[in-house]
Chains A and B, each alone.
Chain A
């Protein structure tokens, strides 16, 4: 413990804080395993619940403390506009894949069941946002992961879940089961808050970032984007305490939507002011970009 820097020691303390309870002393004693694994967290809370009722436990439920700005915007404006923009007046379902069956495609990607006819009940919607970071430095010492852990916790307001490696890779000195990254899944109001912050504060300050490419999307209506370590310091929560994070880490953000196509997903995100790259439209290419749902309907 003495060899750790001050901020790392504080970080270890911070990671333990939500694990208040009867076992907290054990946690500190076994400081070498202090990285809060998911398993450890659940054990701690259930045990402490039995042992001492007076200890305040983590409440996992979401509290609705106000009206979410982007949710209202979605309800008032985006939903209506998406309906107009993506509606196909004549819809011919393609050869259908039965519901629930997943067919494997090239490139290790799966496709969803064939989309249903557009309707007012099936307007694309944002389901969740995953924020994930992987730190190579955690191979050397798992304490290095704490910096990323705290950073993700700070920017999302949720406690991350530690990701352990599934397989060992000898050349990288990675052993199976080592903590290697962490992730947070945001839903509901917190999701909209994070998106709001991203779009209003972080993305406009990313220098020379041209916006999401026109081809963004995984073909099933989800969009992912990666951020460099420098982007982390643009979050207001980190900006003010930049010195406290020993290492900055890059991270990935994945937007999961109910849209069936990339196009619909991009439309949805652009409704939340997510910047997309502009290409010069004056010289149209020989091959036009596919506009799947609508073009197939009009053809």
Chain B
């Protein structure tokens, strides 16, 4: 297969593969908490909000990681501030803040005439991953995984029963912003691979697939990461072989896996539920 040969032959493809795998894992892991907390829209918001940071970083010549995390977290705080200090509901606040940040990013990229290739940032170009990007992705990956492992208990209880967590004294708001920071870092790590527009799919689709396949959080995280990796590798294969945008191929691979689970999941899949319903009917008749 050309893909395997390419892997052996080309250094850039190895980097792309390694980066994609890491992105698949961390998106899958963080995505579980995002969907269980009903924050899918927040994931979309943060991913768009990193754009101005990326533009500024390129303009002043620092790694885009720093600027992106800065504007991402700033937007999360802005969303929290607006929804807590007015009658505006959170999803509305998200809509206002992230489109503003994204618009600002578009203007900054034009005005600063930075060398940023907007198309690549928006849609991902994993085959152009530089060594520094790969190392940043790996570094972020390690930070995210260690954080989730260390604070698993706290993330679980604040996702499942925030009131109880608050009563026994956990800093629930701090944990929220901590998760937002991790989310921002994951987004940044995914920029090269899937791009800003499609990051949200990598956060949500593998986690949602796993959600259909298990009813234990720890198992869900594991399955979600596995699906994330599978989607990333399959997507990379199609991107390389047919010269397509890597973000799009990876997302469609994840979506395909989701629909397989949606139909065939032993407990939640529509197929078995239909069959079970029919069996019930014949028993009652």
Indicate, yes or no, whether A interacts with B.
Answer: no
**Chain B residues engaging chain A, CB cutoff 8 angstroms:** none
**Chain A residues engaging chain B, CB cutoff 8 angstroms:** none
